[in-house]
Chains A and B, each alone.
Chain A
Amino acid sequence: MRSRGAAVALTAAVTAFVWGLLRAESQSAIAALLALAVAAGFVLLKTRWLDPLAGAALANERFAQGLAVASVAALALVLRDDDFALLLVTRVLIVIVACLGLNVQFGYAGVVNFAGASFFGVGGYTAAVLARATGLPHVLILLAGGVTAALTGTVLLLPILRTRGHYAALITIAFALLFRTFLEVNDALGGPQGLKLGEMRIGPIRFNDPVGIGPFEGSFYLKYVAVALILLALAFALVLRLERSWIGLALDAVRIDEIAAASFGLDVARWKIAAFTIGNFVIGVAGALSAFMIGFIAPNNYTFAESLIFVSVLLLGGIGNPWGLSLAAAIVILVPEKLQVIQEYRFLMFATLVVLVLLFRPVGLLPRPLRRLVERSP
């Protein structure tokens, strides 16, 4: 009980910190807050408190998940009329969802994908085209974004199955570059100018109207926060259950040693295809929601550089750990947005950060724990 109280206090402190960071206007205040966070992180690492902390969270996982959701909800309510801050929160949530998809591919099955942003874009463009041309319910359009991304991924299956390591990476890089060029020259998809999306609607809810329930009023972005949070909860449950199942074990075996896996009857190609497709589906759904939220998409949103950001989130957070990549996504999205000095140099910052992590904590901020196939180990 006492540890739960401590966990609540810790979460409240972190939430308050993020709130402060999002609300801070002056660059010096932001820099001070970030310095504080770096110092706190350094202390956690040096005192070796981070790993037992993560272990305790894992042992009470349901509770930790509940706390995380409550923390985001509280943050959104406190920020209720700050459009830009809410936009950032939603963007973090959506990037986490996309990185969860990438995590299934890269973290579990070992299928490298440097075209994450392209599949994100496939989802976005699918949403734009379907929302403009058809009257499909928008929930279905979100799903369609995932399905189209998964189907587009099949184009890459053959070359990915025939190559390994760097070569497989090159193929996905080539795809990322081709995809952007394809968008730019394709007039039906708006060319370099891109496409505008209409208002998102789910049932009676119109997403571009401000929220007003009785005396409570807030930005229309609150609705996007809610939808992104639901999507994130679903994706998180999917990925956790996938990892803690025979499927997760098969994916790990394929990643670690293909030859041994094949010798024990595992169909290597089948598992790689499964992971790549599931991952692209998740990335595509995230891309579709992102497109609705921004309301306007263009080839520039889906560059190779964006794909690198997704990959660096995985490396930074700890490959294969959904909690770790959530933390990393928050850092990678929020810091450059708030600290405008580094806005132009953000890729330099990511590169430095990734190199530092690989040097000093190669497992990432929160390394992946051993699999527990059932909720309690027997």
Chain B
Amino acid sequence: MTAPLLSCRGLTRRFGGVLALDGLDLDVEPGSVLGLIGPNGSGKTTFFNVLTGLFPANAGESRFAGQPITSWRPQAVYRIGIARTFQRSRMCLPLSIFDNLMVGNHLHLDHGLWFNLVRRRALRRQVEECYQAARDLLRIFDPPLADRMMEPASRIPMIDRRRVEVCRALISRPKLLLLDEPSAGMTHEETLRLMDDILQVQQQLGGLTIILIEHEMSVIERVTRRCVVLNYGRKIAEGTYSEVSGDPQVRQAYLGLE
């Protein structure tokens, strides 16, 4: 077995008296797609928030490519190669689509005062390179959208916003992509199309690892080889989709006592 890209041991996060994340152990192999499922409030998004440093962990540790990253600042977690999307769309709506994508490309842009204010020719070259890169990426998802990059993000429909958000996370070429319920606000068909596009990009980039939070079980079944089921912040099952979906504990968590 190859060494896991991400490895968490005993990850715990408390909110007052509530244990949102209770000693979670989790390994993700490089290049794989891991599904993270569980009822509402089971700690899936909290896991993302703790992993990306938005909330510090109360106990436990997480390692990324062998390096301990527990409770790093969000900026540092991003720099090491973990990018995410949000459950509730967090686009910068007043800005153009291109601007939104460039927010994700932050680390590769030159932010020097002299460069930005005085060396406008060099800045212009960088902008044009970025424009091309953003266009190429967006084209994989939706060619017409790639021609609308200079329009305000507020003007495009939900599925395109999701696409832009995924591209915003992908443009910095992360090693691990965290997708927090990309289907929220979209139809079933739209979700499947978006996931197909993401898998296509995963193959093109080669070696991109994905953790996917999703409520649409058909999506989980189709794109993940392994799933982890959470309930009350604890891991209650792990395995292929057919394994976990047959698990009595999982059925109980989703459907209540039979």
Contacts and interface: CB of A to CB of B under 8 A. Distances in A.
A13 B123 CA distance: 38
A132 interface: no
Interface stretch (B32-40, B102-110, B205-213, B238-246): B102-110
Contacts of B99: 249, 252, 370-371
A377 B150 contact: yes
A341 to B, nearest CB: 39
Contact of A250 (B93, B106, B150): B106
Given A246-B116, A257-B90, A264 B106 contact: yes
A353 interface: no
A374 B128 contact: yes
Contact of B102 (A238, A246, A377): A246
B131 interface: yes
Contact of A238 (B96, B117, B123): B117
Interface in A216-257: 238, 241-242, 245-247, 249-250, 252-253, 256-257
A370 B131 CA distance: 16
The size class of the interface chain B forms with chain A is 35 or more
A266 B116 contact: no
A266 B106 contact: yes
A126 to B, nearest CB: 23
A282 B120 CA distance: 21
A252 to B, nearest CB: 6
A247 B116 contact: yes
A246 B54 contact: no
Contacts of A262: 54, 73-75
Given A259-B54, A263-B74, A252 B95 contact: yes
B89 to A, nearest CB: 10
B54 A267 contact: no
Contacts of B106: 250, 253, 264-266
Contacts of A370: 95-96, 99, 150, 152
B96 to A, nearest CB: 5
A45 B131 CA distance: 35
A364 to B, nearest CB: 13
A263 B54 contact: yes
B139 interface: no
Interface residues of A, number: 28
A260 B117 contact: no
B84 interface: yes
B103 A261 contact: yes
B52 interface: yes
A373 interface: yes
Interface string B57-95: 000000000000000011100110001101000101111
B234 interface: no
B167 to A, nearest CB: 12
Contacts of B131: 378
B124 interface: yes
Nearest to B100: A253
Contacts of B102: 246, 249
B175 interface: no
A182 B65 CA distance: 56
A376 B176 CA distance: 36
Interface string A253-296: 10011011111111100000000000000000000000000000
B116 to A, nearest CB: 4
Nearest to A373: B127
Contacts of B128: 374, 378
Given A253-B103, A370-B96, A263 B111 contact: no
B113 interface: yes
B117 A245 contact: yes
Given A245-B117, A262-B74, A266-B103, A256 B95 contact: yes
Given A262-B74, A263-B84, A265-B78, A242 B107 contact: no
A246 B130 CA distance: 11
A247 B113 contact: yes
Nearest to A262: B74
Interface in B154-179: 168, 172
Contacts of A261: 103
Contacts of A378: 127-128, 131
A295 B152 CA distance: 48
Nearest to A278: B113
B124 to A, nearest CB: 5
Given A242-B117, A371-B95, A374-B127, A264 B109 contact: no
Contact of B124 (A242, A266, A374): A374
A265 B78 CA distance: 6
A371 B79 CA distance: 26
Interface string A341-354: 00000000000000
A257 B124 CA distance: 26
A266 B96 CA distance: 18
Contacts of A377: 150
Contacts of A249: 95, 99, 102-103
Return the 8 tightest CB-CB contacts between A and B, nearest first. A245-B116, A265-B78, A260-B90, A262-B74, A246-B109, A256-B92, A373-B127, A253-B103
15 contacts: A245-B123, A250-B111, A252-B92, A253-B103, A257-B92, A260-B103, A262-B74, A263-B86, A265-B74, A265-B75, A266-B75, A371-B99, A373-B98, A375-B124, A377-B150
Given A253-B103, A264-B103, 20 more contacts: A245-B117, A246-B102, A246-B116, A247-B113, A252-B99, A256-B94, A257-B92, A259-B54, A260-B86, A262-B74, A263-B54, A263-B78, A264-B83, A264-B106, A265-B75, A265-B107, A266-B103, A266-B106, A267-B75, A374-B127
